[in-house]
Structure formats: structure tokens, C-alpha cells
Structure 1
């Protein structure tokens, strides 16, 4: 066979393979959300990005989440943070592991640690992508309660781990205007609601379930469950987003709230969270505030429909503003499966508004282009 014929044959084979791959991806393509169903990436592999968050950048959405493995061991981190990209939010390309766990037993992020709820934001000043997550040290259960941060020059990574620690050591909280005296910390006469705060004051406050929120002015905030999960903290980050400034407030003191997810609409800050019942689902709760530091007003359960009292079997992890759509936000929740962590499912539902109030209504399936999903009118 001549070289020309050989080259032509190779080109034909390559083109055929590319067409077959494109056809397979088209066959796997979806055009609607089905909350709780197995969600496959473009290669037909189940998406593995639990407890995640999404960053929108240059026309693409990037989904970061915990990579789980089979069995109960999947509740520890053996692989790292997985990243996927999408232009339409339905169909996702596997971008690989953005932050890999370490083989070094001295590393805070050695394989077998607990890494939860990774969130990535972009810093316009430093031009760095910054990832925060909740970290528990290997073999320590949930006693470490640390915040951890990593950075990258590229959105998909690799991310370089910087440090883990408990935030705001030695710092007293900021009190928004109108804070009742009863909610101000007095470690000289410790009340039940302050005992964990005062215990941890010198070494830094506990940081478990968390999210990161970037405001319109570019300032970023770390919101996390603290004080043995009894109280939320809203903490300001440094200008480069890799540390805490020491300014923070306490929210819903003593009421046991975790799984915070924040968004902003018409100048009002919204936060959706859950109660604390371990891996078992419970009723969601939502709050509003006119300032990021509060005071935050509690509004009850936003969910409507079957199993609304257990957030449809899931727990909040992120609220995603849809690019280019006014008043369009997606409530993202995870349905945890602790006995086989990799089988955890994703519950994405539209947030609907009536004035400044919100509802999250169960839907077996739904589409982005259906405007009725996002607004109930005023």
C-alpha cells in the first residue's frame, strides 16, 4: 500500500472515530433537569461533584464538587475536587481533578482526610482562582473543623493548597446596627449560647459547612457553621480572598444551622440553609438581610411539594444565578447516600419569587427556558 493511501486510511479512521464520539455525545445530550435522577457527563459517566458550587466565567459554567468513591469510605476524600464545564447547564464536560489529594502523610489534605463543600471564586485583582472548602484532618473525625484554601492560575486547575486553619483567632464579632444586647458576647459571664465561642476564641472559631459569596463591590465573604454547628458566621475575606480580615458577625445564634447558600437580588441578601440532623435530611430554612453582616431575618421553610419537610430528601449546597436571566436562580441541593457516597444525587430546582419572598417548588423535570419556573409575580 502506498504512503498516500495509508495516510488517507488513517485520516478516514480518525474522522470516523471523531464522528462516532460526536454522535455518542449527541445521543447523551439532555435538554431538561430531572432532580434526583442519575446525571451523566458528555462521556456517559455519572457526574461526581458532590456538595459543590458553580463559577461562571467567559461564557462557561464550572462545577466543582467532592469526588466520591464506592462505599462508606467515600465520605472521606481519596481523590480530590472534581471539575466539570458546561455552556448550557444541562450537558457537562469532565475537566478532571482540579485539586488532588496528597500522598504525603504530613499534608493537611492527605488521602483519607475529609474535604467538603468546595467553592471557587475569581479574584479580579490578583487574577487568581481561589478555592475554599471545609477540611477535617485525617483520623480526627470532625474535631478539626477547619477552613482551607487553594489557588490556581487556571479555572480548571491544578489548584495549589495553601493552608487550613480556624478563622478569626482572638477576634470578637462585629455587631450590626440594632443587635440586641443579649446577642453580644460576654466571655466573662458565659451564657449557654456563647460557651463554644468563648472556648475557641483564642485558637480560632470552628468552620464546617460553608460557602463563599462575592458581593457587587468585589468583596468576598466566607459563611460557615461554627460553634459546634450552633451558629453561623459571616466573615469578611482579605482583598486576595485567601484569608480572613477579622471582621465577622454571628447569625441565628444557638439555632443549629448548616449548609448555607447565599445570593443577592434587588439589594437584598438571601440565605438558604438546613437544620443539623447528620446525614438525614430536614426542613430547609431561609433568611434575608439588607446588609451582609445582618441582622438576618428568619422566614421558615421555602420548600413546597412532596417531602417539603425534608427538602425533598436533599440539603442545600449552592444557589446559582443564571447568566443573562433576570431573577433566575437555581437552588442546588445534594441527596446524600452515606452508605455508598458515590451514589449521592443532585437536586436542582428553580427559585420562584413573589415580591421579596421565595419558594422552591418540587418538579419532576423542568427547563430553563420556561419563564414560569422563576417568577410568580408581585
Structure 2
């Protein structure tokens, strides 16, 4: 009888463990050797990776993934914890490195617990030897009215990052125009030519709105902050200072008058590429891409890079970052988030390879894939 009691106890414990493992927050840990877009993605503890709206930096043979730490329920879309960091050698298997930037417990702080802190991106400054994190900030209790850019720095890639400031970029500054640009194409704040120009002029004294964003470091070491501005009707590409912690006042407007958010920026064969999305709240929509031979434009709009079934809603996701794969030529991964606003912690990640046809790009859905998808 004693034997059967022991056996029954073991079965009960086994069932309990199986039940825990089946939940979205705790998945059996094990070596991963492929990408499965939209599936639960366990870290080294077996817990679904918590790095939403994120970006990746590659340093000394290791990838570091930074993203928004979410909690369960719709309240999880507010910043209750901070920015989470993970590391990987192979892009498939990720180690939890903890919280790189903590929100503040001080009332009135720009990144006070309960604020909105989105799309963190980290870059390394070779001159200062500092890691610099930029992100979109909305002040606690103010909805999306603040529209600020926030910045923090660290001596170590995994943190802890120290918050420096948040603000609206380039107050009092007019856009940069290449030589020969006719006056008719320049903003006239005495008589704005469009509703979008009116938003720009309205915000000119205090700085431009900065919401969905990314950061890009060019081959010459200059860094650029790319963000949705002017009530999301325009993308702005703004040059950062030499230490990457402020703006220089030089910037351009891209695709003015057309709502664009979730920007990503990368460079291939001397050509600059941007992929973004339309503006439909948490609901997915068709992606869009642009290209230019100079960071300062002109930028050409090319339409939707996604093909096939589900392409009209970016397969249910929204762009957040384009990752160049180290050691592989012409290997770029399109990173997107599949948002679940009613249970934020269950948001999924859609990673797909980008394929090029000449200077054009294309993204196709794959149920699963690995880095052998890139032939060279």
C-alpha cells in the first residue's frame, strides 16, 4: 500500500509540473535550432522571452536583445518594470540577463513606474566607450500626449543603464534641405501648406513629437534617431551628437503627410533602407518600405515588402528592428512583434529573412527556418 501511495504522489507532482510547463510563461527549456515565428520562445529558464518592441546590438561575438518588459493583462502595456536584456551566441537560444533599465519609484520622474516606455534601442559609442539606449517615453497619466525621446547610458552592455533625460527633439530647428530644393517644397510656418506642416509648426518652439523610433549608426560612426512625428504623419531622421546622447539640430522629414510608425533602418551595398508600418493602433496593417542613396534623401516609397497570404497585415505583426547577421553577407532579419494588448506578456515575435532582388527587397512567410536560409 505504501508503494501505491508513493506512486500516486509522483503522478500528482508530474501532472502539476506538466501543467506549469504548458502555460505561456513557463515552457520547457531546451536547445533551439530554428526560428518559429509567432510561437512561444523560451529563454534559458524556459520562460517566454520578455523583450517586446526591441532591438539587438552585436558585440564581441554576442548578440544582446533589449525590449519592453511586459506583465500580464492590459495593464502590462505600461512600464511597470523597465527594459529587459537577453544575450545569445547563435540567435536561437537566449540567456536572461535581467533588467537593463529599471523604471523609477520616484513620483514625477519622467520614467516613473506606470509611464509608457517603448521600443528601446541600444548602440555603442566608440569615442566615449558608453552604451547608449534611446526609447519613446510618455509621462505617467498623460496618455500619448508627451511624445518624448528618452536616453540612458551604461558602461556595460547589459547595464544597469542610468536614465539621463527625456525631451522633444530639435526645438526651434527647421528641417535640412539639400541644395537646390525649391522654396515651394520647404515648410512655411507663416502659412502652413498642409495639416501636417501645421503640426510641425505648432511644435517648433518646444521640439518635435517623437513616438515609435529606432537608432542607426552609419559606417562613419555618426548616429541617427528615426521617429514618428507630427501626430505620426511624418517620419523624421535626426542626427545625434558625437556622444549619441542629444540631437544636433540637423534632420529631415520623410513621407510627410502619410501616417507611418514602427520605423527600422539599415544599410546594404551603400543603399539605406527603411521598413515601417501604417497607424492602426494595436491592430496589424500592411508594412511599407523606402530606400535612399543618402541618409539625407531623397527617400523613395516602394509599397509593401511582404508577399503572399497575410501580407496585408504583415502576417499579424509590426516591424521593430532589422538585424544584420554577423559573418554573413546580405543576411538581414526582419524583426516584428505580434502584439496582444489584452495580455501584453503573451506578445509573440515574428522573425523572417529578408530577400533581395537587385536593390529591391521582399519578405515572405515561413512557418520555421534557420540561418541556412541565407546562402552566403
TM-score by length of 1: 0.91
Task: Pick one of 38, 50, 75 that aligns with 2:40.
Answer: 38
Task: Pick one of 361, 364, 373 that aligns with 1:361.
Answer: 364
Per the alignment, residue 295 of structure 2 pairs with 292
Q: CA deviation at 1:184?
A: 1.0
**Structure 2 CA distance for partners of 1:178 and 1:307, relative to 1, 3 Å:** farther
SS at 1:95 equivalent = strand
- State whether residues 63 and 89 of structure 2, in contact with CA within 8 Å, keep that contact through their aligned partners in structure 1: yes
Per the alignment, residue 4 of structure 1 pairs with none
Q: CA deviation at 1:190?
A: 1.4
Instruction: Please give the alpha-carbon distance, in whole angstroms, between the structure 1 residues aligned to 2:88 and 2:179.
Output: 42
- State whether residues 82 and 99 of structure 1, in contact with CA within 8 Å, keep that contact through their aligned partners in structure 2: yes
Instruction: Please give the alpha-carbon distance, in whole angstroms, between the structure 1 residues aligned to 2:83 and 2:182.
Output: 41
Per the alignment, residue 51 of structure 1 pairs with 53
Per the alignment, residue 88 of structure 2 pairs with 86
Alpha carbon RMSD of aligned pairs, Å? 1.3
**Structure 2 CA distance for partners of 1:78 and 1:182, relative to 1, 3 Å:** same
Give the 5 Å matches for 1:1-378: 28-177=30-179, 179=181, 181-192=183-194, 193-372=196-375
- State whether residues 178 and 295 of structure 1, in contact with CA within 8 Å, keep that contact through their aligned partners in structure 2: no
Q: CA deviation at 1:27?
A: 5.8
Q: CA deviation at 1:140?
A: 0.2
Q: What count of residue pairs does the alignment treat as equivalent?
A: 349
After superposition, the C-alpha distances for 1:208-247 in whole angstroms (9 at most, x for unaligned) are 0000000000000000000000000000000000000000
Per the alignment, residue 21 of structure 2 pairs with none
Q: CA deviation at 1:26?
A: 10
Per the alignment, residue 11 of structure 2 pairs with none
Instruction: Please give the alpha-carbon distance, in whole angstroms, between the structure 2 residues aligned to 1:108 and 1:155.
Output: 23
Structure 1 residue ranges without an equivalent (≥5): 1-24
**Structure 2 CA distance for partners of 1:27 and 1:137, relative to 1, 3 Å:** closer
Q: CA deviation at 1:189?
A: 0.8
SS at 1:286 equivalent = strand
SS at 1:341 equivalent = helix
**Structure 2 CA distance for partners of 1:26 and 1:277, relative to 1, 3 Å:** closer
SS at 1:64 equivalent = strand
- State whether residues 179 and 295 of structure 1, in contact with CA within 8 Å, keep that contact through their aligned partners in structure 2: no
SS at 1:309 equivalent = helix
Q: CA deviation at 1:371?
A: 3.0
- State whether residues 113 and 139 of structure 1, in contact with CA within 8 Å, keep that contact through their aligned partners in structure 2: yes
Q: CA deviation at 1:176?
A: 2.8
- State whether residues 136 and 144 of structure 1, in contact with CA within 8 Å, keep that contact through their aligned partners in structure 2: yes
Q: CA deviation at 1:182?
A: 3.8
SS at 2:198 equivalent = helix
TM-score by length of 2: 0.91
SS at 2:343 equivalent = helix
Instruction: Please give the alpha-carbon distance, in whole angstroms, between the structure 2 residues aligned to 1:245 and 1:317.
Output: 25
Q: Which region of structure 1 is more displaced relative to structure 2, 293-302 or 25-34?
A: 25-34
Q: CA deviation at 1:266?
A: 0.5
